[in-house]
Structure 1
Amino acid sequence: MVPRTERNDGVVARQKPLHRFIKGEPQCIGIAVLFFGCGELLIGLQLFKDDSVNSAALYIPFWLGALFLISGNLSIYTENHPSKKMVTVCLSMYVVSLLGVFISLCYRVHCLIHIEPYLTDDDSWTRKRFGQVMNTEAVLLTASLCVAVLLIFLSCLARAALKSTKPQVVIQMHPPPGE
């Protein structure tokens, strides 16, 4: 007999694969991803004011922030309304967001490498301006890496929730006619 405990929303928590996803608290992690998405958008807006080489050239703060916001919202919704379809949608969105983090990581490292020579400029104003851009890129890069860790964890939870633990075989016997 499997022990059953009632949750506040009426969902029975068992050892079923779907409930393993809910036990991982995707809502709490989704809220954290939402905050990182808002931060990506708000901090990234400052990069559009600068004409130097930065991630705003590819609109990375907009689309990466949007990916984070969508992933976070899906995590929150899926914990409140669990179904295999929603967990599948979450998993696909996590993978797309991780791909976006990888692309932004590559381009931001490229930007940081190309900004560094300007930091040795004789003009104090130029040095400070490029230092600010470099620090902003570094903060966004670090935040993206933190979100990548959260998304990898959520992806593992979602994959485990979609994976069936015990294969079930249904055998039907039909007696031959006349018996």
Structure 2
Amino acid sequence: MEDTGSTAEAKTTAEDGNLQMSDRLLKSTKPLHRFVRMEPRSLGIVILLFGCAEILMGFQLHLAGENRRTSLNIYSPFWQGVLFVVCGNLSIYTGLHPSKKMMTVSLSMYVVSLLGIIVSGVHRIVLLSLYQRIRRWNRSDWITVRMDLLYGIEGMLLTSSLCALVLLIFLIVVARMALKSTNENVQVIVQQSLPPGTPTAAN
């Protein structure tokens, strides 16, 4: 009776050890966990801050009542800020609860935000060159101060957009690689461990 109990206990211990080892192996090689190791939550917080800064500067431009051309002509501070906020929240949530569905949604929003940065970036570069021309051809000190102020605001927003662009490109590459790995065929090897003393069938 004692031999049977010790055999059953040894079998249970061996199975628990195999399950723990398999779980550790799964977590170390699973593509979703490799994505989590790239710290999408930290990058999401940074993108979220960029989005909040974009929206706040958009309100400042709106309250200033500037009659010259600014980013508000296409409302880029607002829709780009909203895109950054959404991407940041999705990155944080995906880092906390990784899944293939959430990673696909995050990847889609990353691409949309990337396209938005390209559109707003081209528009802001045109605005910066316009401010330079106005400043060069006008002798009024008031116009010079206004152009310097608008140049600084639009330049700061363009710089923050370029920083967010680098982070989004990195997240797109990492998420795409993780999704590609999950779509590949996975081979599963099943091992059956028999307790000691169990006779095996002869071939």
Q: The TM-score by the shorter chain falls in which range? A: 0.7 to 0.9
State how 1:113-128 maps to structure 2 within 5 Å. Answer: 113-120=129-136, 121-128=138-145
Higher relative helix content: 2
2: CA distance between counterparts of 1:81 and 1:126? 52
| Equivalent residue for 2:56, pick from 23, 42, 48 | 42
| Equivalent residue for 1:79, pick from 88, 95, 99 | 95
State how 1:1-179 maps to structure 2 within 5 Å. Answer: 4=24, 13-48=27-62, 49-120=65-136, 121-164=138-181, 167-168=185-186
C-alpha RMSD of the superposition: 1.9
Sequence identity, in percent? 49
Stretch of structure 1 that moved more, 121-130 or 68-77: 121-130
2: CA distance between counterparts of 1:13 and 1:3? 6
Aligned-pair CA distance for 1:51: 1.3
Aligned-pair CA distance for 1:160: 1.2
2: CA distance between counterparts of 1:16 and 1:169? 13
Stretch of structure 1 that moved more, 45-54 or 15-24: 45-54
Q: Which amino acid aligns with 1:92?
A: S
CA contact (8 A) 1:112 1:134 kept: yes
2: CA distance between counterparts of 1:162 and 1:19? 11
Where in structure 1 do 4 or more consecutive aligned residues deviate above 3 Å? none
Q: 1:176 — aligned with what?
A: none
Aligned-pair CA distance for 1:3: 8.1
Q: Which amino acid aligns with 1:80?
A: L
The gaps in structure 1 that reach 5 residues or longer are 6-11, 171-179
Q: Which amino acid aligns with 2:175?
A: A
CA contact (8 A) 1:40 1:65 kept: yes
1: CA distance between counterparts of 2:146 and 2:181? 54
Q: State the number of aligned residues.
A: 164
TM-score by length of 2: 0.76
- Structure 1 residue matching 2:29: 3-state secondary structure: coil
Aligned-pair CA distance for 1:80: 1.0
Aligned-pair CA distance for 1:24: 0.5
Change (3 A) 1:22 1:169: closer
The gaps in structure 2 that reach 5 residues or longer are 1-20, 189-203
